[in-house]
Structure 1
């Protein structure tokens, strides 16, 4: 009875929070439509303070920041919206406009040859889907092997044996791609530069030489963190160290 009471309390509080956030969201949208972008952002941030996250919320926040020419926040929230809805055309189109406001022109080094092929195949499915595929193939292998073992026909035995081994081989390949996908996701630690102009150092200390400068809105990959510094890599392969306060991680929700 006590457990049921706790469940009821949680349900009521969750429903009340959802209703309140929905009212805040509608209020924020009304401010946005009236051109009161700063007020809309305040309302959207109030929703984020309740730990509620959605692609729609981030997208609307990004739009409001874009209207105010806030380069880094607009790109940051578009990128977060893309993490939740990577195939959304509206987000893709709007982030392209926001990126045009950035100063840094960084060349993207494309994947080529066998490496590109592996990346393309790996990104076909998520880690979970690769894992599910490998389990399905193992189950199919077991069924076919049992068919081979109990079959009295030589022809059927041959077919069952070959197809069962093929399923086992494909299952191993699927497992390899699953681990590769997991590794890619874990290593993918994007961040957005928020400083108007940030000095990127050759080593993680202020006395080291300057490697290059970056400006707000530029997207980087974080490779390591040492004290108050982050080691970053650009899309052209250049690396350096930047102060923690100058960048904001994207995968923190």
Structure 2
């Protein structure tokens, strides 16, 4: 019975993959014909099937951009960038999309050692830092065993120094891995989808207006209270926005 279940799952996966490939090709064909609305429907159908990829999000963002859909285009470019953070084409297109936004928001400059460590941590993903730690700890074990069983004084010295260096690099990789994990955990970006959204000073409609944001602006979600989310801008300002006006990445 278990074998039949496995066979069914495999067949279902193959069928879904074939369907998604067909939808993607149809979407690309519609996009090339200039039928961006229909292309979007094809791409969204793939997402509904549980498929996610940088290429899919990138094409979906391009279709929205062609229709001047500011918020959706930026949203899906951001989604694509999360999966392919070093893709130059995605970075280039998202820059064009951001130029369509109304809000001009500055940034709070980060200086000092903490900023340098943050930049270094963000060089690689959590997975890469973790894998690097595993590799270096394995090398450390091999070198330490070489040191322990070696008869030559020179070989012992070289093995010991090399093993200690690997141990140090392992510790650094572990530190950066945990730091990256914490940074990613705190990172909760979202895009304003409402054409114009009143940001309140407190999570209720009776509170005073803190400022106004427009579609496409990227924010960070800090907290959620009922139908409100507390957000933070890159310039440090905070406020409360209705759930319906925002879409988390």
Q: State whether TM-score is above 0.5.
A: yes
Give the corresponding residue for 1:106: 105
Give the corresponding residue for 1:80: 79
Aligned counterparts of 1:133 and 1:26: Cα–Cα separation in 2:
38
- Could you give the per-residue CA deviations for residues 164-209 of structure 1, whole angstroms, max 9, x where no partner exists? 3333232222211110011111111111000111111222222222
- Could you give the per-residue CA deviations for residues 199-241 of structure 1, whole angstroms, max 9, x where no partner exists? 1122222222221111000011112222211111111111111
In the alignment, is residue 52 of structure 1 matched against residue 51 of structure 2? Answer: yes
- The CA deviation at 1:159 is 3.6
Cα distance, 1:190–1:158 mapped onto 2, change above 3 Å: same
2:124 match: secondary structure: coil
In the alignment, is residue 22 of structure 1 matched against residue 35 of structure 2? Answer: no
- The CA deviation at 1:155 is 4.2
Give the corresponding residue for 2:34: 35
Give the corresponding residue for 1:142: 141
Cα distance, 1:17–1:159 mapped onto 2, change above 3 Å: closer
Aligned counterparts of 1:120 and 1:14: Cα–Cα separation in 2:
39
The number of residues matched between the two structures is 249
- The CA deviation at 1:62 is 1.2
TM alignment of 1:70-219, pairs within 5 A: 70-219=69-218
- The CA deviation at 1:154 is 4.1
Give the TM-score, by structure 1 length.
0.90
Aligned counterparts of 1:127 and 1:176: Cα–Cα separation in 2:
11
1:166 match: secondary structure: helix
Cα distance, 1:27–1:133 mapped onto 2, change above 3 Å: closer
Cα distance, 1:223–1:157 mapped onto 2, change above 3 Å: same
- The CA deviation at 1:101 is 0.7
RMSD (Å), alpha carbons: 1.8
